[in-house]
A = this chain, B = another copy of it.
Amino acid sequence: MRITILGGGGFLGKKLAARLARDGSLGGKPITGLTLFDLAAPPAPSAPFPVQCLGGDVADPAAVAAAIPAGTEVVFHLAAVVSAAAEADYDLGMKVNLNGTLAVLQACRALGTKPRVIFTSSVASFGGGQDAVVPDDGRQVPTNSYGAQKAIGELLLQDATRKGFLDAVSIRLPTVMVRPGRPNKAASSFVSAILREPLLGLSTDCPVPPEFAVWICSPRSAMEWFLHAATMDTSAMGIDRGINPPGRSATVAKMLGALEAVAGHAAREKVGFVFDKEVFDIVVGWPAAFEAERARRLGFAEQESLEDLVRAFIEDDLAATKAERGL
């Protein structure tokens, strides 16, 4: 089985490549080749199969077609300009998030073999805000350009699925925490920072109040969902290819409680509160909870507890993050 990861150099793309390299197979079928594609050619994990690493623009149809060679059975389309960046630069967001997805659609269609496409959509495609509990048939009324572009990508891939060009599953990812590395341009960057920075021994400011709730998932859950979406029987989904996976609704106070439970009071004390209106105005529009019953019925795994999530970051990413940041 040949697999492509678009956005293979990003946080989730690298974790997914490492997981596939470790497993050597997907859904019981041996992996025979992996192509990693990102703006700069991503590093290749050591793997029991050939890994091809390509650099290019996801909005360039020729570059994307080269990254999805004949015989590709599964495409993970994780390439995107994130929320605050897409809000700050509308044209860049449209280019990468809209034209990029169109290029992926056309490259997959050109294969003529209906590859499975796993698309990372986002909680940011919903409006609703703090009080919302989004039902499975909740309408996407995005309050930001990133969310609008993701909702459009879902519609494109859903229609392409109905037309028989490909076989899409769009996972509307919650805010993924704890992200390793450094703060990034996502408006939700603080959600990881308030756990990661203290675990690195650093102080950080939270830009929203303690009672602010976020719909979150761990990188480990995201990986389980990606692999399930790549191997599940999609016929049970019918025409509707968007999935609200079973993440977890958590307040900042609860996250800090989990931090304290795992890493002690001193870690908790590293987090201060400095309100940031620009960040708040973006994230306040994202719903803080989802029903996610359809995803459970379709076999998507439950998110682990916040304490387990903190421990997983320590196990999986803390050492590498320390090394990367020279700490």
Contact = CB atoms under 8 A, between A and B. Distances in A.
A203 interface: no
Contact of A90 (B143, B149, B163): B163
A150 to B, nearest CB: 10
B155 A151 contact: yes
A145 B127 contact: no
Which residue of A138, A145, A152, A159 has the most chain B CB atoms within 10 A of its CB atom?
Answer: A159
A135 to B, nearest CB: 9
Integer count of this chain's copies in the complex: 2
Nearest to A87: B163
A141 B90 contact: no
Which residue of A137, A141, A151, A155 has the most chain B CB atoms within 10 A of its CB atom?
Answer: A155
Given A152-B152, A152-B155, A139 B139 contact: yes
A147 to B, nearest CB: 8
A202 interface: no
A248 B68 CA distance: 48
A158 interface: yes
A188 B276 CA distance: 52
A180 interface: no
Given A90-B163, A140-B139, A127 B239 contact: yes
A162 B87 CA distance: 11
Interface in A143-168: 143, 145, 148-149, 151-152, 155-156, 158-159, 162-163
A162 B145 CA distance: 9
A142 interface: yes
B140 A163 contact: no
Nearest to A150: B155
Contacts of A142: 155, 158-159
A169 to B, nearest CB: 15
A238 to B, nearest CB: 9
A240 interface: yes
Given A127-B239, A239-B127, A148 B159 contact: yes
Interface in A229-255: 239-240
B163 A156 contact: no
A172 B290 CA distance: 27
A142 B163 CA distance: 12
Given A139-B139, A139-B140, A142-B159, 4 more contacts: A127-B239, A145-B159, A148-B155, A151-B155
22 contacts: A90-B163, A127-B239, A137-B139, A138-B139, A139-B139, A139-B140, A140-B155, A141-B158, A141-B239, A141-B240, A142-B155, A142-B158, A142-B159, A143-B239, A145-B159, A145-B163, A148-B156, A148-B158, A148-B159, A151-B155, A152-B155, A152-B156
The 7 closest A-B pairs by CB, nearest first: A148-B159, A139-B139, A152-B152, A148-B155, A137-B139, A152-B155, A141-B240
